[in-house]
Amino acid sequence: MRVLHHPILGELSQDDYVEIIVDGKKLRAKSGETIAAALMANGIHIHRYTTKKHEPRGVFCGIGQCTDCVMTVNGKPNVRTCITPVEEGMVIETQQGFGKRGTKE
């Protein structure tokens, strides 16, 4: 869910979007919003699965203090999505356990 009509801030501009790729699927994200906010707006709530029990995790604190929202971003594991802004062409993957380092640094 994304607030499109705010009584004080006004209308959300339709031209400030970027394209991101989440688990192989192209999604639109509002330029400047965090990865977690973009995922929530697109109905995605699971960011990773725990190592031992493979339980799903998503946003918990929302301020970068816990690690429940970490995902693999552009090949780099353990990126805190609640404080990382989206960028055009960003590749985001649901993280399994501690994650694997990709080829991009």
Q: What is the mean pLDDT of each successive set of 10 residues along the chain, which is 105 residues long? A: 77 82 96 94 94 93 92 96 97 92 51
**Predicted TM-score (pTM) of this structure:** 0.84
Q: Name the DSSP letter for residue 34.
A: B
Domains defined along the chain, listed by start? 14-96 (3.10.20.440)
